[in-house]
Structure 1
Amino acid sequence: NVKLLVTVGGDDTASTANRIARFLEMKRYPIANIHVPKTIDNDLPLPAGTPTFGYESAKDKGAVIGRAVYVDARTSGNWFVLAAMGRSAGHLAFGIGEACHYPMIVIPEMFNKTEITVGKIVNLVISSIIKRKIMGMDYGAAVISEGVFHALSEEEIRKSGIHFTYDEHGHPELGKVSKAHIFNDLIEKKLKELRLKVKSRPVELGYEIRCQTPIAYDLTYCSELGIGIYKLFTEGRTGCMIYVDSEGNVSPLYLRDLQDPETGKIPPRLVDIHSDKFASVVENILNAVTPADYEAAKAYVPDPETYDFHKILNWN
């Protein structure tokens, strides 16, 4: 009487599935455990280029909202500050920002050479505002991943002025607060200090983007995953995550091979900031202050170097 246990979700659920699989194996229970990589965060360690179920639909809905917001920014001459979901990685914010050609995208992976602080997040957006002014554009939009909050120290969280409650995994319950409003308030305060006349508005990309009607890609993908689970089950597979490649071929990814040997948890898949794709977005889509802009930037701030994109991130 072999039974099947299917777990569905992101990295925390995958880690739980991994512990279940190990327990069942140790007790020799005849139960197969197969995990489905379902999360709009796209942060499960599938082979490169393979999204998690739900990500493409959420990105599509986020881009629809993001494009409308950008049109509003252009016609009203304002700036908008968007916050996108993504607790452990910035895939969603990056994907939406890339699709909408936002002049500033802020994700936790960008801070690979420096500590994430509230001041640096704010200065990245200010950098874009200054650069756009130099370019003759008084409008724009920035999208920030909520994941930056997870990397902030307790002191930095206190600086943000928000008091979080925490879930059973010890993560701040970000869904209970508007990250866009927090970021927007902090940016407005900085703009006032600099005496820059810029109006900004917050937009929270929240739960609605994970509850929309799936796009055709995810409808097909979900069917392939469901059928694939049965295939793996009939083959006697267990303790694994299902993987369906671009040709529809099904194979198992064993959780024991993905886990951190010390914690037993499945580490999240991060945005690859060393990829040509990421470099292309930084070089061709983002607008931010560089050394070539210092002289022109002095018309807006006395210390342009403080808002140099690469210096903020400590990139060479």
Structure 2
Amino acid sequence: MKEAIAILTGGGPAPGMNTVVGSVAKTFLRQGYRVIGLHEGYTGLFNPSPRTVDIDYPMADGIFNQGGSFLQMSRFKPKDSDFENNFNLKFFTDNNIKLLVTVGGDDTASTANRIAKFLEAKKYPIANIHVPKTIDNDLPLPKGTPTFGYESAKDKGAVIARAVYVDARTSGNWFVLAAMGRSAGHLAFGIGEACHYPMIVIPEMFDKTEITVEKIVNLVISSIIKRKIMGMDYGAAVISEGVFHALSDEEIRKSGIHFTYDEHGHPELGKVSKAHIFNEMIEMKLKELGLKVKSRPVELGYEIRCQTPIAYDLTYCSELGIGVHKLFAEGKTGCMVYVDSEGNVSPLYLKDLQDPTTGKIPPRLVDIKSDKFTSVVETILNAITPADYEAAKAYVPNPEEYDFHKILNWK
């Protein structure tokens, strides 16, 4: 029987999913392998009748440059009892599968390792190689290498954010944008930097103080007042949804948000409009201060996850997909494929990334000590400083409360 590989996509979509799948398939097909695509992520491995598709070369060629994921995705995370009672070992043995390729974030990678260990214990050793993706860009890849999908999501987000900024200037309004980013503010910061937004709010900025609803609101108000002093009655702020993750239970109750949680224990932020919530809180504060400012909410969410990948990700994801075969041919397993800026392929083992105490992979945060971040704060953002206090008194009686550095407790 012909040797085969299986490939699945887990978690949420990111531009480049199909590029990876198509590139993996093309490479292995040329080497004589059968390529089996698994629908619904890991769900298919824990039921007796998985939904599969044989990926041939024309199919791989047809999907590689498309957005979304041809293989239906799932966030299913198996329990220990699933391994004991429901694992479909027959799928691997009957199809002579030698490699499981998983495409996803850290949760998907962790499950891939559990499956590899389980199969080895069952005397059916199988290689597993993971391809790291997330538009959040928060997996700690070496040398600042982005996770695939981030550059495309940032690009498409910036297209929307640029149009919104033009609307703000045209109509004399303010806009409040919320960008995805569960643990880190890379996407919000990248979009805000690209579009010269006068205010960017990301969780990493609160390194010296607790994140509260009031501080988030006051940062935006600070920018609104600064722009008024500058003679500009318009603007836009982009806020990372990750600030919600750092809010205390009390602060979440203050915001009026009622979260549901996914199977991994993460708040299902996709079920609420963060932009609407932020905008409502800001409007309440503006009314309280007697400032006549119109603001509008814009959510940067699902519409950027399935965009057609830009050239950067088409190239990067092709290299990742081809790199899977290189690592497999070298006998590597239990690793992620890593491609550096020069196109060199190497394995990246989870044990080298994970916290030695918890075993979890810590998120890569925006480096707020970097020249890049500092230059954006100092040259692009508009916010009240002590030099603005006197002029700001025309709008608020206590301008020091809206001082950018004081809000963040930066010295």
TM-score interval w.r.t. the shorter chain? Answer: over 0.9
Preserved CA contact (<8 Å) 1:88 1:150 = yes
Structure 1 residue aligned with 2:183: 88
Aligned to 1:23: 118
CA distance in 2 between counterparts of 1:103 and 1:24 reads 53
Q: Is there any run of 5+ residues in structure 1 with no aligned partner, and where?
A: none
Gaps of 5+ in 2: 1-95
Deviation at 1:240, TM superposition (A): 1.1
Distance 1:20 1:137 in 2: 57
Q: Please say if residues 55 and 92 of structure 1, whose CA atoms lie closer than 8 Å, have aligned partners that are also in contact.
A: yes
Name which of structure 1's ranges 29-38 and 6-15 shifts more when overlaid on structure 2: 6-15
Offset, 1:86:
0.6
- Whether the aligned pair in 1 keeps the contact of 2:180 and 2:240 (CA below 8 Å) is yes
In structure 2, the CA distance between the partners of 1:174 and 1:86, relative to structure 1 (3 Å rule), is same
Structure 1 pair 268–25 and aligned structure 2 pair: CA distance change class (3 A):
farther
Larger deviation: 275-284 or 21-30? 21-30
Residue aligned with 2:142, SS:
coil
Question: 1:308 deviation in Å?
Answer: 0.6
* 8 Å contact kept, 1:10–1:43: no
**Partner of 2:265: helix, strand, or coil?**
coil
Deviation at 1:28, TM superposition (A): 6.5
Preserved contact between residue 8 and residue 37 of structure 1 (Cα < 8 Å)? yes
In structure 1, C-alpha distance between the alignment counterparts of 2:251 and 2:109, rounded to whole Å = 30
Corresponding residue SS for 2:143: coil
Q: Which residue does 1:289 correspond to in 2?
A: 384
1:25 Cα deviation after fit: 6.2
Shift of 1:265: 1.5
Maintained 8 Å contact 2:116/2:125: no
How far 1:182 sits from its partner (Å)? Answer: 0.2
2:169 to 74, 82, 85: 74
Q: 1:306 to 1:2 in 2, by over 3 A?
A: same
Query: In the superposition, relative to structure 1, how do residues 32 and 131 fare at CA in structure 2: closer, same or farther (>3 Å)?
Result: same
Q: Secondary structure at the match of 1:203?
A: strand
8 Å CA contact retained: 2:184, 2:363? yes
Distance 1:313 1:162 in 2: 23
1:266 corresponds to: 361
Tell me the TM-score normalised to structure 1 length. Answer: 0.96
Q: Comparing both chains, which one has the higher relative contact order based on Cα–Cα distances under 8 Å and sequence gaps of 6 or more?
A: 1
How high is the TM-score relative to the length of structure 2? 0.75
Separation of aligned partners in 2, 1:147 and 1:286? 20
**Structure 2 residue matching 1:183: 3-state secondary structure:** helix
RMSD, aligned α-carbons: 1.4
Q: Percent identity?
A: 91
The residue aligned with 2:350 is 255
| 1:11 and 1:267 in contact (8 A); partners too | no
Moved more, 41-50 or 124-133: 41-50
Matched-pair contact (CA < 8 Å) for 2:127–2:328? yes
Of residues 26-35 and 108-117 in structure 1, the stretch that sits farther from structure 2 once superposed is 26-35
Q: Which has the larger radius of gyration?
A: 2
Given the superposition, is the C-alpha separation of residues 18 and 103 from structure 1 closer, same or farther in structure 2, using an over 3 Å criterion?
A: farther
Count of aligned pairs: 316
Distance 1:194 1:48 in 2: 46
